[in-house]
Chains A and B, each alone.
Chain A
Amino acid sequence: MAMIRLRSVDKSYGALKVLHGVDAEISEGETFAIIGPNGAGKTTLFKVMTGEVGCEAGTVEFLGKDVTRDPAYRRTRAGMGRTFQVARVFKEMTAEENVVVAIEARLKNAGQSDAPWYSVKPSRAARDEARDLLARLSLDRKAQMHAAELSHGDKKRLELGITLAGRPKVLMLDEPTAGMSPSERVGVTELIRSISGKGSGLTVVMTEHDMGVIFGLADRIMVMNQGRKIAEGSIDDIRADPVVRDVYLGKEAHHA
């Protein structure tokens, strides 16, 4: 089944047209990467999927339903989770609170809030779930630290925790390794692989600059250039594609 389907999506910022009739179909359980040079429209396409920006033409379907006009929070409730290029966490809250508020939001939206109405504290179950999740992300020792005090890599992990707390069906990762040291990159790649591995059923959509990360994770890759899709396929297809080499990988090779 298609998790996300885009049909001829057009998007402009003022006079600048950034997406030209983009089609895409992302299947359940796969890890789908969107790549392309700077300004190719990756991030805009990503935001069209999440609902942060609208599109002038075309439709976005999520789980078979047309969500083109749904705001981000509705798509989140339907099962879309998102992380940001620069990790966005609630800095004044502790790591545990960050995850707890996300769990509470999920329970509330599902009508499963289990804390009594008069209680000011999060429910025991929500706090236990938060601790388990932090342990999975190797953040259990930092649970009581304020998010502002966490390192860059830990903030990224925590943000992933907030997102996973919503139990998404699709995990949308916007440059998950941006700004990381090589060793942190390896750690995060491993983490994503362990979360989205076969059997988890989790679908992942990611944009990424680092080819190592892409080739290590993606099942399928879509290459964009100047607002258009120029290629789509498996890692091998993309490596072999002469247009892609020209536009994208070729350029990188020149730089290298």
Chain B
Amino acid sequence: MNRTLSGLLLIFAGAALVLLPLWANSGLVFLAGTTMVVGVFALSWNLLFGYAGLASFGSGGLFSIGAYTMAVMLRGGFEGQFLLLIALSTLAGGAVALAIGIVALRRSTGIFLAILTLALAELLRITLAKIHWVGAEDGIPNIVRPNFSIGLATVDLGRGNHYYWFLCIACALLVALSWWIAHGRFGRTLRTIRLDIERAAFMGVDTHRYRLVAFTISGAIAACAGALFAPWAQIVTPDIGNMMRSTQPILFTLLGGASSFWGPMIGAFLFSAIEFSTRTLVGIQEIITGSILLGVVLLFPTGVAGAWNALIARLTARPRRDEATSAALQPVKE
């Protein structure tokens, strides 16, 4: 029942997004596309937090690496190889995450990892702002939406809403990939590591290696989201990976709920909806957004997704103890 209902909701939400350009104005379409991308970005963060139990405060840096890699290569005139460029940007993010992980994860988890990743992301932002080859403070403007061919078909993402629909497909694939990673044996093993790392080690699990792989995959997906974002925004600046960016997935996860795979994505859309509906209230927009966030955290510690699951459970199931509302920012349970 719960599954069917959630599945229907998912199909409905997907269809609404795909059909959006048919009736909405370009501003709303741009917001929807951006939200999809940052939603995927937030999912990649929660793969690390909700499953592997690692909190990174520098995920914006990896988003930035993907965006810049894409921007530089498109500027270099490789738009005909767009799919390859996405793959390369993803690999770049994965490689950087792997390098950071090898150094950082051996000893530092918890708050140390949070601070270290935050510092590295800031370092990257400041460095990018000093390199003239990538436009220093001004970044890289006028990024083209590529025109490329797959086999016999030609895809011109520059026309109309083509890039938006391309984003729909790409994000759907990334969400499916994340879902598969989170729900398979690898995801289950990650959960055992978050729940009790020593117990996991005494099942013969090389916990360090698993965390490193999760860190790498999460970084690769974050970079892929960044790579998709560059032609969408058509400009990248060093601020694309600033602290606000790194905070986004954390806020979305808080709002949507870390206890559910879909929580960060739900949080991303709620956040966008709140910002959109308060956009004319200059000066008090932040206050409203902040209050809503505070309200959700206090009233629904497991986020909107957690509250939803609890509600469905109460409506459908026989009376049963309600464990879904027991812990703050409580991690994955499925």
Contacts and interface: CB of A to CB of B under 8 A. Distances in A.
Interface of A: 50, 52, 71-73, 76-77, 81-82, 84, 88-93, 97, 100-102, 104-106, 108-109, 113, 115, 118-120, 122, 146, 148-149, 162-163, 165-166
Given A92-B333, A120-B180, A73 B192 contact: no
Contacts of A84: 198-199
Interface of B: 180, 183-185, 188-189, 191-192, 195-196, 198-207, 321, 323, 331-333
B199 A115 contact: no
A73 B201 contact: yes
B259 to A, nearest CB: 9
A82 B202 contact: yes
A109 B185 CA distance: 13
A102 B203 contact: yes
A91 B333 CA distance: 10
Given A101-B188, A104-B185, A119-B184, A89 B199 contact: yes
Most B Cβ at <10 Å: residue of A73, A100, A104:
A73
Contacts, number: 78
A101 B203 contact: yes
Given A90-B192, A146-B323, A105 B204 contact: yes
B141 to A, nearest CB: 42
B199 A71 contact: no
Contact of B189 (A81, A89, A101, A165): A101
B185 A73 contact: no
Contacts of B189: 101, 104-105
5 contacts: A73-B207, A101-B203, A106-B204, A120-B183, A162-B203
B206 to A, nearest CB: 5
B198 A88 contact: yes
Contacts of B200: 105
B186 to A, nearest CB: 10
B203 A76 contact: yes
Contacts of A113: 185
A166 B185 contact: no
B195 A166 contact: no
A105 B333 CA distance: 20
B202 A120 contact: no
